[in-house]
Amino acid sequence: MAQFTTSDGLSLHYTDEGAGLPILCLAGLTRTTADFDYVTAHLAGNRLIKLDYRGRGQSDFDPDWKNYTLPVECRDVTELLDHLELEQVAIIGTSRGGLNAMGLAMGTKHRLLGVALNDVGPVIEPKGLEFIKDYIGRNPAAKTHEEAAAAMALAFPEFSNMPEGRWLAEARKHYSQDAEGLHITYDKHLRDAVLAAGEQMMPDLWPFFDAMEGLPLALVWGLNSNLLSAETVAQMQARRPDMILARVPDRGHIPFLDEVEAVAALHAWIGKMQ
């Protein structure tokens, strides 16, 4: 198990496997390195680095939840690259990870080789954001992984034609189980940070998107997403006609990245950096 210490003293967990093009995998808001388990086999021949943000998974929880912000997470990413003595990496950013990738493009673009966004863009749809606020920071009512898998299948009707056992695999990734039931794998105070951020005016993220100009760019879009709209995707394409776009049917927020369309887009994106 690999760890590094941030400038403010937290120990963060990461994995570093393979050789070749260094690709940093940044997970979703409440998620961990397990976000990328499904796609790992499809990216053989590359060096995959996966990070648990502070307050998630096997990383230390921050004693001050006000540090659960995009700028602090971007600083942590930069410090990880310094720790690994990597001048540049490509980033696959799932949801929150994509926002962090855009932040890094704005602040430290010289550290990036390219960016692949998984179902996220410069406009966050209110419907998707409200859905996240409803569940974040709370343990599920389900008491077993099997119960949670059944509940997830009902809660996410925008997902269909799922691989056998996928919801159960998801439940096991996102919840730990003990005699008392299931528990989230992140700091419950992440909820406080998200709600506090929601009370502030959302900044214009288009300049952050535009900061990726000149970098190989890909977008994996779940066609049933409640977070990323068709209108926003069209605007992204207009600004970046060279953006590789995967339209993934039967998926909402977020695609798992092992779908045929997603894998093809990621391979095309990687090809631009080799």
Same domain, 121 and 235: yes
223-246 pLDDT, tens digit each: 999 999 999 999 999 999 999 999
| pLDDT of 267 over the 80 cut | yes
Mean per-residue pLDDT for 151-173? 95
Query: Per the structure, how many domains does the chain have?
Result: 2
Is 80 a domain residue?
yes
Could you tell me if 39 and 162 lie in one domain? no
Same domain for 82 and 112, yes or no, is yes
Residue 101 sits in the same domain as residue 231: yes
Give residue-wise pLDDT tens across range 3-18: 999 999 999 999 999 9
Whether 27 has a pLDDT exceeding 80, the answer reads: yes
Would 105 be classed as within a structural domain? yes
In a domain, residue 193? The reply is no
Determine, yes or no, domain membership for 190.
no
Write down the pLDDT at residue 202.
77
Residues 181 and 242 in one domain: no
Mean pLDDT of the chain: 96
One domain, residues 53 and 77: yes
Average pLDDT over residues 207-211: 98
pLDDT attached to residue 261:
98
What is the reported pLDDT for 200? 73
pLDDT of residue 139: 95
pLDDT value at residue 84: 98
Tell me if 108 is assigned to some domain: yes
Answer yes or no: is 191 within a domain: no
Considering the domain architecture, whether residues 220 and 253 belong to the same structural domain is answered as: yes
pLDDT-derived band at 274 (thresholds 50, 70, 90) equals: confident
**Same domain (yes/no): 94, 224:** yes
Residues 25 and 95 in one domain: yes
- 233 and 148 inside one domain: no
Stretch 185-201: mean pLDDT, rounded? 89
pLDDT tens string 120-138: 999 999 999 899 988 999 9
| CATH code, 227 | 3.40.50.1820
Q: Are 274 and 21 in contact (CB under 8 A)?
A: yes
Domain boundary among 185, 219, 242: 185
Residue 194 lies in a domain: no
In a domain, 192, yes or no: no
Domain that includes residue 144, residue range: 138-185
Whether residue 7 is found in the same domain as residue 45: yes
Together in a domain, 214 and 104: yes
pLDDT cut 70: percent of the chain above it:
99
